[in-house]
Chains A and B, each alone.
Chain A
Amino acid sequence: MFAIDKLSRTPIYEQLIDQFELCILSGDIGPEGQLPSVRYLSQTLSVNPNTLQRAYAEIERRGLCYTVPGNGRYIAKDALIKLREAAESKTSEFEELVSELKGKGVKMETLVGIVNRVYSGEGKVIAE
């Protein structure tokens, strides 16, 4: 479920946060679902437990999960909504890009075609 690229320039801590978010967005772990323990992840991913702890603390700070003492960590009810809202705010970037492409003479049909293709599930999906 989690994949860490140790050769990447992106710090492991940030990779972990990205992976958690991806996990929530894709629905791999639903609302109120339990997150894997630091112990488990540290051993399966060979990652320093202190780094994992810090990544968990960060997503907890963002309100995406909560801790039940002595029990584990769970995804917050509104985690998906929060992440979607954050994604919505990126649409202004998309708009900028569209206007830039328009200025450079890219046809509207081409762009609409790309949007249609992505939403119908064909073509490549860029996961960031």
Chain B
Amino acid sequence: MITAKDLTKKFDSFTALNALNCKIPEGCIYGMVGSNGAGKSTLLRLVSGIYKADGGSVEIDGENVYDNPKIKGRLVFVPDELYFLPRASLLRMAKLYSSIYERFSYDRFKELTAAFRLDPNANIGTFSKGMKRQAATILALSCKADYILFDETFDGLDPVMRNLVKNLLYNDVMERNATAVITSHSLRELEDTCDQLSLLHKGGIIFESDIGNLKTSLFKVQVAFEGEYDRSRFEGIEMLSFVKHGSVASIIIRGDREETTAKIKAMQPILFEILPLSLEEVFVYEMGALGYEFSDVLKQEVE
């Protein structure tokens, strides 16, 4: 379990994380989204013990991470800016990793280098950007760590590799109850992969939820009645949005689907249709309800 309590990190006058609180349970694949500068990478660097917190604490299984080699040996982090020893080959890096990580698996390392079609003896410095990212992913997944942190890792891999990495991740979650934290700019990507999702904005988590609940408790209904009607007709149903075009109303509803269906059907509509929402739409409405404008949060700040 990763626990952050009132976690604060400042860079000069800029507050990257502002009293952030979160809990990431074991065996969970946790996704984080947010605009540039929201604090995603800072949070990962604090969790992996690279930065020292300016306030609050971050703990893994109840122990502080910073300056704690025992805990650090159980986590692996693929940062957005990669580092390899100068002129090192993948094999040389594997040697380094295996000296740090007790459970480092050469079998898996071999399997992965073959799958990614990378030459373990070649100088990593000669690799392309995407290949470097693959190299870092191979090393990280070979460590068999309990906590795997990926900073925008999927964004640099092609779809085939992405599926391969995902399957390995799933395997680790099943086999060792490993925990993964992934950041990405693609909601679509995280929607398929993660089971928990949080949205960061200006150094804090403004929204956190179980993906299953998120997508099943919110849905869109299209309905029409004979004669005139307005929103007051739907009293007792929690509506996040109500838009009427002509005689057809599109309503975003939060609640139990079957219950709501029964309620609306009892009103004898001439048209009734339920549409599931995409995760992006869910975010738009949930955040609207919180008083944030989704487009503002995900929009990259342009100076």
A contacts, CB < 8 Å to B: 6, 9-14, 38-39, 42-43, 46-51, 54
Closest Cβ–Cβ distance, residue B6 to chain A (whole Å): 28
Closest Cβ–Cβ distance, residue A61 to chain B (whole Å): 14
Once A11-B276, A46-B167 are accepted as A-B contacts, the answer to whether A39 and B216 lie under 8 Å apart by CB is: no
Q: Among residues 155 to 200 in chain B, which have CB atoms less than 8 Å away from a CB atom of chain A?
A: 163, 166-167, 170-171, 173-174, 192-195
Do A51 and B277 touch (CB < 8 A)? no
Do B29 and A50 touch (CB < 8 A)? yes
Do B216 and A43 touch (CB < 8 A)? no
Mostly helix, strand, loop or mixed at chain A's interface? Answer: helix
**Chain B residues near A43 (CB-CB < 8 A):** 167, 170-171
Please name 14 further chain A to chain B contacts, defined as beta carbons within 8 Å, in addition to the given A49-B170, A51-B212, sorted by A numbering. Answer: A6-B192, A9-B275, A9-B276, A9-B278, A12-B192, A13-B216, A42-B174, A46-B170, A48-B193, A48-B194, A50-B27, A50-B29, A50-B173, A51-B195
Q: Which residue of B has the minimal Cβ distance to A14?
A: B216
Q: Which residue of B has the minimal Cβ distance to A8?
A: B276
**Chain A residues near B275 (CB-CB < 8 A):** 9
Do B166 and A46 touch (CB < 8 A)? yes
A38 to B170, CA, bound (A): 10
**Chain A residues near B193 (CB-CB < 8 A):** 48
Q: Tell me which of A12, A38, A39, A50 has the highest count of chain B C-beta atoms within 10 A of its own C-beta.
A: A50
Do B195 and A39 touch (CB < 8 A)? no
A49 to B211, CA, bound (A): 13
Q: Which residue of B has the minimal Cβ distance to A44?
A: B167
A84 to B173, CA, bound (A): 36
Q: Interface readout for B124-153 with A: 1 if CB under 8 Å, 0 if not?
A: 000000000000000000000000000000
Closest 9 CB pairs of A and B: A11-B215, A50-B195, A9-B276, A42-B170, A49-B174, A10-B276, A13-B212, A46-B163, A49-B170
A50 to B194, CA, bound (A): 9
Do B277 and A50 touch (CB < 8 A)? no
**Chain B residues near A46 (CB-CB < 8 A):** 163, 166-167, 170
Contacts A/B (CB < 8 Å), 18 sampled: A9-B275, A9-B278, A10-B276, A11-B211, A11-B212, A11-B276, A13-B212, A13-B216, A43-B171, A46-B166, A48-B29, A48-B192, A48-B193, A49-B170, A49-B174, A50-B27, A50-B195, A51-B212
Q: Which residue of B has the minimal Cβ distance to A11?
A: B215
Do B167 and A50 touch (CB < 8 A)? no
Cβ-neighbour of A39 out of B28, B174, B212, B276 (below 8 A): B174
A51 to B191, CA, bound (A): 11
Q: Interface readout for B196-213 with A: 1 if CB under 8 Å, 0 if not?
A: 000000000000000110
